[in-house]
């Protein structure tokens, strides 16, 4: 398990190239299972989550051909997925436990091949993460579903049937799964209270390019007119708003100036508003935005995480790190996940002043300085928050268990080094 060592104190200056969005790539890769023609996906980030999903698709019988290419000023991956006929309809425990978004094979395999066995992913560090919406929606579309030995075993006779479905929560995962399932269903499916995240709109674009007929992108009511067959396509995925938001905080917290190249500012309104209210200058430029906090005094701002277009839960930890060293107090409320404050004790070990109230709220009172410490990554976004704290702490911080970061931040040390951070990966042999 590698470690990351950071020596704090350097303001960050320069450019960070933002990569393709992990949370778009994952469902879009699985959408390739809906056709027996090749599907080429451009702008896939180099991340361990992508490798894990590719490993699952390989064992389902998908042929995968990857090439690296320069796009939009930096190195990206283009991968072609070709599933002529799956050799297995089972997503085993060993794959799903490594990468829970493996559950995106559920909708495509069931609707196209009539059967699927998916290991239930179980909870994770940030919450229980149930799948009831995915499963009950498929049942409403006519699937027979049983839970056996930790697996979801789903079958259909003929095709899934269109249905009118209302989600009790605007789940990103369930919206993607049911969109993919309904694309090949018989008849029309309507999803009410669907998630509106940009990653979903990108999936809808891609499915429509494959021959699906989906209306309502960017709204909470999606109408999917089922078709009999989908075909191959080429699709370039959108860039990662969460990665962009994370580096935006790095610029602000270090009182530097960073240009986020290829960053989708249009999907970051809520977090960029908070950064501006904190006192950083945020300027939208062609193909990205800049964050400038040189000589700025930063003030704490309240944050309430919510479904898109609200403030993303996936930026809560990073913004909390910023509030730790801002003037005044900030109330951080997490409304999506029931256990997403695990970074708090680690930040407190570095001198942060945070009081957690129940599961959902924390008061952060800004301190003048954090002090370096060995800390432990608990999940992907929390790990980045600890790096941010390390960038402004006195001395040398080591962040342990960095495999979390490798899941979701492409070439992290290289990107940080390029803007002047004193950061290094310490390889620990297995
Ligand atoms: C996705 C993101 C994750 C992000 C989250 C919320 C991916 C791979 N992951 O996760 O980074 O934090 O969206 O923006 O894209 N829920 C149910 N029943 C269900 C499904 C969800 O009650 O069947 C609840 C969850 O407990 C949670 C809320 O709905 O409270 C949102 O979960 P969901 O949007 O499904 O998150 P993921 O898609 O797993």
pLDDT surpasses 90 at 150? yes
How far, in Å, is the centroid of ligand 1 from the Cα of 31? Answer: 18
pLDDT (mean) for 236-253: 98
Could you tell me the pLDDT band of residue 402, with boundaries at 50, 70 and 90?
Answer: confident
Q: Is the peptide bond before 309 cis (omega within 30 degrees of 0)?
A: yes
Give the pLDDT confidence score for residue 215 in this predicted structure.
98
pLDDT for res 403: 87
Domains, the chain, in order of start with CATH, read 3-18+239-426 (3.65.10.10), 22-236 (3.65.10.10)
How much is the pLDDT for 121? 86
pLDDT tens, 20-44?
Answer: 999 999 999 999 999 999 999 999 9
Cβ–ligand 1 contact at 99 (below 6 Å): no
Question: If DSSP codes are grouped into helix, strand and coil, which group holds residue 311?
Answer: strand
Residue 249: the pLDDT is: 98
Atom number of ligand 1 nearest to Cα 195: 34
- pLDDT classification of 201: cutoffs 50, 70, 90: very high
Q: 249-308: per-residue pLDDT in tens?
A: 999 999 999 999 999 999 999 999 999 999 999 999 999 999 999 999 999 999 999 999
Q: What pLDDT, on the 0 to 100 scale, is given for residue 58?
A: 98
331: left (phi > 0), else alpha (psi -120 to 50), else beta? Answer: beta
Do the Cβ atoms of 35 and 113 come closer than 8 Å? no
Candidate of 99, 125, 129, 409 to mutate for ligand 1, largest count of ligand atoms within 8 Å of Cβ = 129
122 CB-contact burial (10 Å; exposed 0-12 / middle 13-18 / buried 19+)? middle
Top pLDDT among 57 and 125 is at: 57
State CA 286 to chain mean position distance. Answer: 24
| Sequence-ordered alpha helix ranges (H) in 120-190 | 132-140, 172-183
pLDDT at 126: 76
pLDDT at 317: 98
Q: In the prediction, which pLDDT does 93 show? A: 95
124 classed as catalytic: yes
User: Could you tell me if the CB of 380 is within 6 A of ligand 1?
Assistant: no
Specify the 3-state DSSP secondary structure of 327. Answer: strand
Instruction: Determine which residue's CA is closest to atom 39 belonging to ligand 1.
Output: 173
Closest by alpha carbon to 103, among 79, 84, 82, 124? 124
Q: Is the CB of 32 under 6 A from ligand 1?
A: no
Q: Which phi and psi angles does 268 have, rounded to 5°?
A: -125, 30
Name the nearest CA neighbour of 205 among 24, 420, 396: 24
CA 321–ligand 1 middle distance (angstroms): 23
pLDDT tops 90 at residue 430: no
Q: Which residues pair with 65 in a beta bridge?
A: 80
pLDDT at 127: 76
Share of the chain above pLDDT 70, in %: 100
What local confidence, expressed as pLDDT, does residue 383 receive? 95
Q: Which atom of ligand 1 is nearest to the CA of 313?
A: 12
- Which of 124, 176, 278, 324 does the annotation list as catalytic? 124
Q: Answer yes or no: is pLDDT of 206 > 80.
A: yes
Q: Can you give the pLDDT at residue 102?
A: 96
Mean pLDDT (the chain) is 96
Which comes out higher in pLDDT, residue 70 or 267? Answer: 267
Query: Given this model, what pLDDT does residue 378 score?
Result: 87
pLDDT at 71: 83
pLDDT tens digits, 87-143? 999 999 999 998 999 999 999 999 999 999 999 986 677 777 889 999 999 999 999
pLDDT at residue 211, rounded to an integer:
98
310 lines ligand 1 (CB under 6 A): no
Q: How far, in whole angstroms, is CA 50 from its chain's centroid?
A: 12
Q: Reduced to 3 states, what is the DSSP secondary structure of residue 400?
A: strand
Tens of pLDDT, residue by residue over 153-180, are: 999 999 999 999 999 999 999 999 999 9
- 3 state DSSP class of 228: coil
């Amino acid at each position: 398990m590698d470690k990351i060592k950071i020596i704090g104190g350097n303001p960050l200056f320069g450019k960070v190239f933002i990569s393709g969005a992990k949370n778009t790539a994952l469902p879009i890769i699985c959408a390739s299972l809906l056709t027996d023609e090749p599907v080429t996906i451009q702008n896939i980030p180099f991340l361990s989550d992508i490798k894990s999903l590719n490993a699952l698709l390989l064992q389902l019988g998908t042929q995968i051909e990857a090439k690296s290419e320069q796009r939009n000023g930096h190195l990206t991956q283009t991968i072609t997925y070709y599933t002529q006929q799956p050799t297995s309809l089972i997503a085993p425990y060993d794959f799903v436990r490594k990468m829970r978004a493996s559950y995106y094979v559920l909708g495509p395999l069931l609707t196209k091949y009539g059967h699927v066995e998916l290991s239930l992913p179980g909870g994770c560090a940030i919450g229980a993460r149930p799948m009831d919406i995915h499963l009950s929606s498929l049942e409403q579309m006519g699937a027979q579903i049983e839970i056996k030995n930790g697996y979801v075993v789903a079958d259909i006779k003929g095709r899934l049937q269109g249905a009118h479905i209302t989600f009790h929560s605007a789940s990103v995962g369930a919206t993607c799964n049911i969109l993919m399932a309904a694309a090949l269903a018989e008849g029309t499916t309507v999803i009410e209270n669907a998630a509106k995240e940009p990653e979903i709109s990108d999936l809808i674009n891609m499915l429509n390019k494959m021959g699906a007929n989906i209306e309502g992108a960017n709204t909470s009511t999606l109408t999917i007119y089922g078709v009999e067959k989908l075909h191959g396509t080429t699709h370039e995925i959108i860039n990662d708003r969460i990665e962009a938001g994370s580096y935006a905080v790095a610029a602000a917290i270090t009182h530097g100036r960073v240009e986020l190249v290829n960053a989708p500012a249009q999907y970051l309104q809520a977090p960029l508003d908070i950064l501006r209210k904190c006192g950083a200058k945020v300027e939208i430029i062609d193909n990205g935005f800049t964050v400038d906090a040189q000589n700025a005094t930063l003030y704490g701002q309240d944050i309430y995480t919510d479904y898109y277009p609200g403030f993303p839960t996936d930026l809560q930890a990073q913004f909390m790190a910023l509030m730790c060293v801002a003037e005044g107090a900030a109330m951080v409320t997490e409304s999506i996940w029931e256990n997403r404050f695990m970074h708090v004790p680690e930040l407190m070990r570095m001198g942060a002043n945070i009081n957690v109230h129940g599961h959902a709220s924390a008061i952060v009172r800004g301190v003048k300085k954090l002090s370096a410490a060995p800390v432990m990554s608990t999940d992907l976004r929390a790990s980045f928050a600890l790096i941010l704290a390390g960038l402004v702490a006195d001395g040398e911080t080591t962040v342990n268990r960095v495999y979390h970061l490798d899941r979701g931040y492409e070439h992290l040390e290289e990107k940080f080094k390029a803007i002047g951070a004193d950061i290094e990966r310490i390889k620990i042999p297995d």
